[in-house]
Amino acid sequence: MLPYLAEFLGTMMLILLGDGVCCNVSLNKSGQKGGGSVQTGIAWGLAVMIPACIFGAASGASFNPALTIALAAIGKFSWAMVPGYIIAQIAGGCVGGIIVYLMFKDQFDATEDPGTKLGVFATGPSIRNIPRNIFCEAVATFVLVFTLLGFGNVKDSGAVNNLYVFGIITSIGMSLGGLTGYALNPARDLGPRIAHAILPIKGKGDSNWSYGLVVPIIGPIIGALCGAFLYAAIPW
């Protein structure tokens, strides 16, 4: 059970820190409101790196159904463990979102805009165009997965790999994040979106499932598979 517990706790921590910075810079009455995209980009990179350092040896630190599926597709992970990993990841994302709400409840209550409240839990496009939004998520996730696999070619990298993880998440966020919010990960979006749907958030509006069940799920899976298959096809 250790790998599943590690994926649950790692994804929970990822969302706690990642959605936490979104609350910090977006919600009214937050002491860091207006921190901006630089703070958000760096914080999300750290939010992925920190649990990767803790749980890498226990589970491989996937925290991402798209990455888990892609690794299984190229033979680097057991298909038998995929369902359990995905359940643990989504559940961890949901619990992380609930904890963030409990911590920032007063700030949620002080914020009137429903879109801002949803935006701290889940991703959304700057311009809604579902086919292009899927393409953007696929390209960004392709970069993520291809690069993560490529880190294995760096000789004697060891624990430095976790700094590479920070670098690629931060890079993707700062370069491509303005398009769709760079979900890159179905659990990162679906888990907190479920939390948004079930929590008694004052004036929250709807959870935008017409977008959430399509773009941040389909796009990352397509991109992750493309990145993994291309990496596997190259005679390194």
The tens-digit pLDDT sequence of the chain (236 residues) is 999 999 999 999 999 999 999 999 999 999 999 999 999 999 999 999 999 999 999 999 999 999 999 999 999 999 999 999 999 999 999 999 999 999 999 999 999 999 999 999 999 999 999 999 999 999 999 999 999 999 888 776 666 778 889 999 999 999 999 999 999 999 999 999 999 999 999 999 999 999 999 999 999 999 999 999 999 999 98
Q: Which residues contact 224 (CB under 8 A, 6 or more apart)?
A: 64, 66, 67, 69, 70, 141, 142, 144, 145
Calculate Rg over the CA atoms of the chain.
17
The secondary structure of the chain in percent helix, strand, coil, rounded to multiples of 5, reads 75, 0, 25
Question: What is the predicted pLDDT for the residue at 157?
Answer: 65
The backbone region for 86, taken as left when phi is positive above 0, alpha when psi lies in -120 to 50, beta otherwise, is alpha
Question: What is the predicted pLDDT for the residue at 158?
Answer: 63
Contacts 24+ apart (CB under 8 A), 30-39: 30/104, 30/107, 37/173, 37/174, 37/177, 37/178, 38/174
Q: Specify the DSSP class assigned to residue 121.
A: T
pTM (2 d.p.): 0.95
Structure tokens that stand for 28 in this block:
């009214």
* Largest distance between two CA atoms of the chain: 56
How many angstroms separate the CA atoms of 2 and 148, rounded? 23
Q: Residue 60 — φ and ψ, nearest 5°?
A: 90, -5
How many angstroms separate the CA atoms of 79 and 32, rounded? 43
Q: Using DSSP, state whether 135 is helix, strand or coil.
A: helix
How many angstroms separate the CA atoms of 183 and 185, rounded? 5
